[in-house]
């Protein structure tokens, strides 16, 4: 039996509910794949601030780095918006990513045939969409110096080094080699010097991957093309702020932000989390969609632990669940045969994963 140590960060809002369903599915798959998961819960976000005065305790960093992978729910909420910026949950998350060195954020956007009517776009436009957004995660304008604010002015600096661009470019090209062998690099090189460096370095790295076709696109055009013709994209490579925006846009091609997982990877450890937020307005009501978190657990199995067979079982279980018409409240209007609670959805997927 293989045993893996998993750090769990449940976080705020719906975070505990969706993480509980992901571990339910993981434990079900463990029973049929001869695996064992040793979970250790650690704190981050608003709950960490409430309990320790710090949105990211050092213990969380240490225990995460000593694990095989991190499974993360969501953090934040209006309750903590009035705190000084360095004490807010989001600041803890940015620091967490930096401390763990998870520089590449992988966000797949896949349209399920069973939910093709859930998208606001016409079925002929989105049927077959399968995009991987590769977003640089610990550089760019969110981390650049100098930054500051007065009553009359605020400023942030977008900075990228060659090294940062090189390593994220390699990630994108390697992923493209396992998919459709196309990379579209997104920048704003017509007006930003930092983007011109990005474009130059990505072009340079592309020469090491002759089997992958590289194109470039300005970010404003990319936002339009995602709506106009999303099937043209295979791997979208971009920086931190552009990737933050475009990956959320790509998620809505699929009908619900509650469906899509993500992986944040680096040289030390990987963090696996849904792309949605903590949704405090629905916390505790049992209506949150756990599929994105369960799919994130599948990505964890595949990318961090090398357990592709187990990951495949979870992915098939999600598709079967949707095909048979089970829906959470956010998707109830789209061919639902039965509307499920958060816990019921997790149990159905867990059951199918063992078949």
The pLDDT value recorded for residue 248 is 86
pLDDT band (50, 70, 90) for residue 335: confident
* Domains, the chain, with CATH or none: 1-111+257-355 (3.40.718.10), 130-252 (3.40.50.2300)
273-302 burial code (b ≥16 CB/10 A, e <16)? bbbbbbbbebbeebbbbbbbbbbbbbbbbb
Contacts of 198 by beta carbon, 8 Å cutoff, 6+ apart: 160, 165, 185, 187, 189, 239
Which of the residues are catalytic?
A: 142, 188, 220, 244, 248
Distances, alpha carbon 303 to alpha carbons 62, 129, 270, 297, 307, in Å: 21, 22, 8, 10, 8
The pLDDT value recorded for residue 74 is 97
pLDDT band (50, 70, 90) for residue 229: very high
pLDDT band (50, 70, 90) for residue 289: very high
Q: DSSP string of 316-339?
A: HHHHHHHHTTEE-GGGTTTT-SEE
- Give the tens place of pLDDT for each residue, 147-185: 999 999 999 999 999 999 999 999 999 999 999 999 999
Confidence check: pLDDT of 125 > 90: yes
């Amino acid at each position: 039996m293989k045993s893996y140590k998993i750090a769990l960060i449940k976080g705020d809002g719906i975070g505990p509910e969706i993480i509980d369903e992901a571990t339910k599915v993981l434990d079900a798959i463990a029973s049929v794949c001869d695996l064992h998961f040793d979970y250790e819960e650690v704190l981050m976000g608003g709950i960490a601030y409430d309990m320790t005065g710090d949105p990211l305790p050092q213990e969380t960093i240490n225990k995460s780095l000593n694990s095989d992978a991190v499974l993360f729910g969501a953090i934040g909420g209006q309750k903590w918006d009035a705190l000084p910026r360095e004490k807010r949950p989001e600041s803890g998350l940015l620091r967490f990513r930096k401390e763990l060195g998870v520089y590449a954020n992988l966000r797949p956007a896949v349209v399920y045939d069973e939910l093709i009517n859930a998208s606001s776009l016409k079925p002929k436009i989105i049927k077959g969409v399968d995009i991987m957004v590769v977003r640089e995660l610990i550089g760019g304008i969110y981390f650049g110096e100098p930054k500051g604010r007065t009553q009359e002015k605020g400023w942030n600096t977008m900075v990228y080094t060659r090294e940062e661009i090189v390593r994220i470019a390699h990630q994108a090209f390697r992923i493209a080699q396992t998919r459709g062998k196309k990379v579209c690099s997104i920048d704003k090189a017509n007006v930003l010097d930092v983007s011109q460096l990005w474009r130059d370095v990505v072009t340079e790295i592309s020469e090491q991957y002759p089997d992958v076709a590289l194109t470039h696109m300005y970010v404003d055009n990319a936002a339009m093309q995602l709506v106009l013709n999303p099937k043209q994209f295979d791997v979208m490579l971009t920086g931190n702020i552009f990737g933050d925006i475009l990956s959320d846009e790509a998620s809505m091609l699929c009908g619900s932000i509650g469906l899509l997982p993500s992986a944040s990877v680096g040289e030390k450890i990987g963090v696996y989390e849904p792309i949605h937020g903590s949704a405090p307005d629905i916390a505790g009501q049992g209506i949150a969609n756990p599929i994105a978190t369960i799919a994130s657990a599948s990505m964890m199995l595949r990318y961090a632990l090398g357990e592709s067979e187990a990951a495949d079982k979870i992915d098939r279980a999600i598709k079967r669940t949707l095909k048979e018409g089970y829906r959470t409240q956010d998707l109830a209007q789209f061919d639902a045969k039965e509307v499920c609670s958060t816990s019921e959805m997790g149990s159905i997927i867990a059951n199918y994963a063992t078949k």
